[in-house]
């Protein structure tokens, strides 16, 4: 038993196909998943990694529709993981050409961290179709290893904001996450701090262009309203 990250990296090295697809043992792929993803990747050569929408079942039932387009995915990565791991398909050439692998330093958030580095070398996408059934239960890693996962998720977000050009505090991360999860109970102090942070974010992005400046400016204006 090499544990998850080492095993994932071993799989990346051993894989010989044009594409590498992921699925966990306790989840269910829809019958057309691989065909639809291969067709999508063949039609979109700039995309090096794609995921899908999914239905969660078990302890809670819901359908999750993560953003489909590259810019929206890059934005979502600033506040949460934008692609669910067991739905992904990679272009093997992007993995090999850029020496990409899962980082051992980010246990239980290794997928999220890899997506952020993947986004530096190719476009990302989610196919807007439910092609995965994701099983929720009391022994999910996100439950058993929640403190480790939470700490590494904060590290990833902080590092991603540094790529944008923003030094972010834990409180600013919380405010930004609340904004994007449509929380509306901000007090005056929260709004003042959030407004300063969003202004700082727009100005930094104008230089770094992590996101298209016009895209980010218009998006944040809508969210602020």
In this predicted structure, which of 12-16, 24-28, 141-145, 159-163 has the lowest mean pLDDT?
141-145
Whether 74 contacts 107, CB under 8 Å? no
Average pLDDT of the residues of the chain: 95
- Name the strand (E) or helix (H) holding 209: none
Q: Report the sign of the C-alpha dihedral through residues 211, 215, 217, 222, in that order.
A: negative
Instruction: Report the predicted TM-score, pTM, of the whole model to 2 decimal places.
Output: 0.93
pLDDT in tens, 21-80: 999 999 999 999 999 999 999 999 999 999 999 999 998 899 999 999 999 999 999 999
Residue 190 has pLDDT above 90, yes or no: yes
Residue 137 has pLDDT above 90, yes or no: no
Whether 91 contacts 18, CB under 8 Å? yes
How many residues are recorded in the chain? Answer: 225
Output the pLDDT for position 141.
59
Residues sharing a CB contact under 8 Å with residue 144, sequence separation 6 or more, in sequence order: none
The band of 146, judged by pLDDT with boundaries at 50, 70 and 90, is: confident
pLDDT in tens, 206-218: 999 999 999 999 9
In this predicted structure, which of 119-133, 183-197, 206-220 has the lowest mean pLDDT?
183-197
Output the pLDDT for position 139.
67
Residues sharing a CB contact under 8 Å with residue 170, sequence separation 6 or more, in sequence order: 154
CB atoms within 10 A of CB 163: 14
DSSP 149-192: HHHHHHHHHHHHHHHHT----HHHHHHHHHHHTT-----HHHHH
Whether 86 contacts 24, CB under 8 Å? yes
Output the pLDDT for position 142.
59
Output the pLDDT for position 75.
98
Average pLDDT over residues 161-189: 95
Average pLDDT over residues 189-205: 97
Which residue in 75, 74, 54 sits closest to 64, CA to CA? 54
Output the pLDDT for position 77.
98
Residue 184 has pLDDT above 60, yes or no: yes
Residue 144 has pLDDT above 70, yes or no: no
Output the pLDDT for position 15.
95
Residue 145 has pLDDT above 80, yes or no: no
């Amino acid at each position: 038993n090499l544990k998850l990250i080492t095993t994932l990296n071993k799989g990346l090295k051993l894989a010989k196909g044009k594409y590498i697809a992921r699925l966990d043992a306790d989840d269910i792929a829809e019958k057309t998943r691989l065909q639809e993803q291969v067709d999508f990747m063949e039609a979109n050569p700039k995309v090096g990694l794609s995921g899908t929408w999914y239905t969660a079942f078990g302890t809670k039932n819901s359908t999750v529709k993560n953003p489909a387009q590259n810019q929206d995915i890059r934005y979502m990565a600033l506040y949460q993981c934008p692609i669910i791991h067991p739905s992904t398909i990679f272009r093997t050439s992007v993995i090999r050409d850029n020496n990409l692998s899962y980082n051992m330093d980010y246990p239980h958030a290794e997928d999220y961290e890899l997506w952020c580095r993947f986004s530096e070398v190719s476009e990302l996408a989610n196919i807007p179709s439910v092609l995965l059934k994701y099983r929720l239960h009391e022994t999910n890693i996100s439950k058993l290893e929640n403190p480790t996962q939470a700490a590494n998720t904060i590290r990833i977000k902080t590092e991603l904001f540094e790529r944008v050009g923003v030094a972010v505090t834990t409180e600013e991360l919380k405010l930004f996450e609340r904004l994007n999860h449509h929380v509306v109970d901000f007090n005056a102090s929260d709004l003042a701090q959030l407004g300063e942070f969003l202004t700082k974010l727009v100005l930094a992005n104008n230089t770094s262009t992590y996101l298209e400046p016009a895209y980010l400016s218009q998006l944040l204006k809508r969210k602020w309203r």
